[in-house]
Chain A
Amino acid sequence: MRNFMALVHNEWLKMSKKRSFFIPYAIIAVVAVGLAWALKHWGGEMLGTASDYTIMMAGTTGFGQFTAMLAVIFTAGLVASEHGMGTIKFLLIRGQSRAKILASKYVAALLFALSLIVWLNVVCFAAGAVWFSTDLPSGALRDILITAGSSLVFSIVYMTLGFMMGVLTRSTGAAMGIGMAAIVLSGITIPKNFYKFILFPNANLSVYNHGGQPPLPGMTLPFSIAVLAVYIVLFLGASFVTFKRRDIA
């Protein structure tokens, strides 16, 4: 286990030592602060509290979707760039199994997505606290956690898709493009029964909060969670099988 954490540490360093690492955090901070300021000055009495602002911003319909894109962009290269740079050759001859190496990359990607969502919520709440009331209405904390949680699930689903594409195509560009395209497509709903088994309408779990309407009739929270779990298992299964069997030529 200590050994596995060392591998995750390695992967985290590979991401964080890049000069571009701070960019997603900076974008989130600038937008969160800027929008809070703009809403205060031009939005009238639209928002009352910092928690309202946080829930609005961090949800999957708000900036949470953009955060998912950032997560896809910055994790798409985790596997593909090792192939691209040729560093994969040194990585795979160190006596650590391929499955373990790929798992450490995925865990690092999860940590990155988690850090983005946490950062998004913290910055939003802080910016909201500056210009709006810091009162916490009852249930607000629960709502914040639910929106943050569904944004995290949303990010993880598409990040896993991008991760798989990175393994399958060995191309950072393809992984990024397909991950982003999927996020954009997730907004479209085809009103047919089969579509509820597709990934897209299920990815946003926040629709079920406060007894909201699902995108298609017959969908429930457990149903969506099950569908997402099946897709994630499929994506990861394809990734691990491919990565383990691949000849590094």
Chain B
Amino acid sequence: MNHPNDILGDDAVLSLRGVSKKIGGKKIVDQLSFDVHEGEVVGLLGPNGAGKTTTIRMIAGLIQMSEGDVFVRGSSIRHEWKKAIRHIGAIIENPEFYPYMTGYDNLKQYQRMNEWISNDRIDEVVRLVGLEQAMKKKVKAYSLGMRQRLGIAQALLHQPSVLILDEPTNGLDPAGIREMRDYLKTIAREEGISILVSSHLLLEMEQLCSRVVVIQDGKLVTVRSIGENHAPSNEEKNFVRVMFRVGRLEEAKNVLDSQERAEIVQVAEEQSELLVALRYKDIPDIVAALGAARIPIYQVTEIKQSLEDEFLKWTGGNRIA
């Protein structure tokens, strides 16, 4: 992954190759390489201070790279910035507009900067984000959610191949977050655009992305397909973690301890719960063994490891960044 001159993957819309940013001898981003493919929604995930925003800004050319390069549809951000940036639409942190101008006037500003954007295209993106009614209003009268939508409109105006979003749900309420997610999914589908979205909100990433790139301290930690986390766990040989809520906790512990095929992972005295690791196929036997000992069973739940658990595992747990 660390060869800057790698031949680019044929369907990679966006490729980072050994991208580094040094500020005062400290590496904020260190040898980062990953690809975003056609039509893919990729999450850039990491704790605060991991270098997400710096990475996003380097991709857009707002911050100069110290090493490495970014390729957008094969064009280098460093050497052919104009060609490369043409394919990028971005919202970096909160979308900021000229508050004393109307939404329409703001979009007109960006239209004048790329002469191929037609008036019809403005109408089209406005319709896509559902802001038809607000176009004549000044942006200072917009809610944060509306500004986010205008931000998306702005990013789509010049028909980019890849959309780069930095913490797009920051400061939005749950309804706004959901709306944002729906818009992004719609856009990925209707405009056929690849999306790279940075966030520290895991649940968001899980629901939006098909793949996550996890970084910490500026370094690549892992790249995961979200699908893998939802692999069917009902295969007979698979280990699963099952939570038993029982009466008479001590007795239940004794029963499970005597079972070779089950291992108690965790005991929660207050909730009277036992977390047990065992094979899927052994679940009925263990339940039967508890039943035979006449231990009341109130609940049996499989505990799936969430992205959050994995994320904490990857990034070293509860270390405060």
Residue ranges of A at the interface with B (Cβ–Cβ < 8 Å):
2-3, 6-7, 9-10, 13-14, 17-19, 85-87, 89-90, 92-97, 245, 247-249
In the complex, the chain A residue whose C-beta lies closest to that of B101 is: A17
A95 touches B114 (CB 8 A): yes
Bitwise interface map of B from 83 to 107 toward A, beta carbon under 8 Å scored 1, else 0: 0011010101111111111000100
B62 touches A247 (CB 8 A): yes
- In the complex the two chains form, what is the Cα distance from A213 to B256 in whole Å? 106
In the complex, the chain A residue whose C-beta lies closest to that of B154 is: A90
In the complex, the chain B residue whose C-beta lies closest to that of A2 is: B115
Task: Return the contact of B63 from the options A85, A94, A97, A249 (Cβ within 8 A).
Answer: A249
Task: Return the contact of B115 from the options A3, A10, A90, A245 (Cβ within 8 A).
Answer: A3
Interface residues on B, range: 20 to 34
Task: Return the contact of B96 from the options A2, A10, A89 (Cβ within 8 A).
Answer: A89
B115 touches A6 (CB 8 A): yes
Q: Shortest beta-carbon distance, A62 to chain B, in Å?
A: 33
B115 touches A13 (CB 8 A): no
Given A89-B92, A90-B96; A13-B105 close (CB under 8 Å): yes
Given A6-B113, A85-B96, A86-B94; A248-B63 close (CB under 8 Å): yes
Q: From B85, B96, B105, B110, name the one whose CB has the most chain A CB atoms within 10 angstroms.
A: B96
Task: Return the contact of A92 from the options B54, B62, B114 (Cβ within 8 A).
Answer: B62
Question: Which residues of chain B from 57 to 95 have any CB-CB distance to chain A below 8 Å in the complex?
Answer: 57, 60-64, 81-82, 85-86, 88, 90, 92-95
B113 touches A10 (CB 8 A): yes
- In the complex the two chains form, what is the Cα distance from A92 to B54 in whole Å? 16
A to B CB contacts below 8 Å, 22 in the list: A10-B109, A13-B105, A13-B109, A14-B109, A17-B101, A85-B98, A86-B96, A87-B96, A87-B97, A89-B90, A90-B110, A93-B62, A93-B85, A94-B85, A94-B110, A94-B114, A95-B86, A97-B82, A245-B64, A247-B57, A247-B64, A248-B62
Chain B residues near A17: list those with CB within 8 A. Answer: 98, 100-101, 105
In the complex, the chain B residue whose C-beta lies closest to that of A87 is: B96
Is B319 at the interface (CB under 8 A from chain A)?
no
Q: Shortest beta-carbon distance, B5 to chain A, in Å?
A: 25
Chain B residues near A18: list those with CB within 8 A. Answer: 100
Is B26 at the interface (CB under 8 A from chain A)?
no
Q: From B64, B88, B109, name the one whose CB has the most chain A CB atoms within 10 angstroms.
A: B109
Given A17-B105, A87-B97, A90-B96; A10-B90 close (CB under 8 Å): no
- In the complex the two chains form, what is the Cα distance from A128 to B158 in whole Å? 52
In the complex, the chain B residue whose C-beta lies closest to that of A14 is: B98
Knowing that A2-B115, A89-B92 touch, tell me 19 more A-B residue pairs with CB under 8 angstroms: A6-B113, A6-B115, A10-B109, A10-B112, A13-B109, A17-B100, A17-B101, A18-B100, A85-B96, A85-B99, A86-B94, A86-B96, A87-B98, A93-B61, A93-B62, A93-B88, A94-B110, A95-B86, A97-B82
A86 touches B93 (CB 8 A): yes
In the complex, the chain B residue whose C-beta lies closest to that of A20 is: B100
In the complex, the chain A residue whose C-beta lies closest to that of B95 is: A90
Question: Which residues of chain B from 113 to 131 have any CB-CB distance to chain A below 8 Å in the complex?
Answer: 113-115
- In the complex the two chains form, what is the Cα distance from A248 to B62 in whole Å? 5
In the complex, the chain B residue whose C-beta lies closest to that of A11 is: B109
Q: From A13, A87, A93, A247, name the one whose CB has the most chain B CB atoms within 10 angstroms.
A: A93
Q: Shortest beta-carbon distance, B14 to chain A, in Å?
A: 14
A249 touches B57 (CB 8 A): yes
Chain B residues near A89: list those with CB within 8 A. Answer: 60, 62, 90, 92-93, 96
Given A7-B113, A10-B112; A92-B96 close (CB under 8 Å): no
Chain A residues near B97: list those with CB within 8 A. Answer: 87, 90
Task: Return the contact of B82 from the options A7, A13, A95 (Cβ within 8 A).
Answer: A95
Q: Shortest beta-carbon distance, A179 to chain B, in Å?
A: 23
Chain B residues near A14: list those with CB within 8 A. Answer: 98, 101, 109
- In the complex the two chains form, what is the Cα distance from A93 to B109 in whole Å? 13
Q: Shortest beta-carbon distance, A244 to chain B, in Å?
A: 10
Q: Shortest beta-carbon distance, A17 to chain B, in Å?
A: 5
Chain B residues near A92: list those with CB within 8 A. Answer: 61-62
In the complex, the chain B residue whose C-beta lies closest to that of A86 is: B96
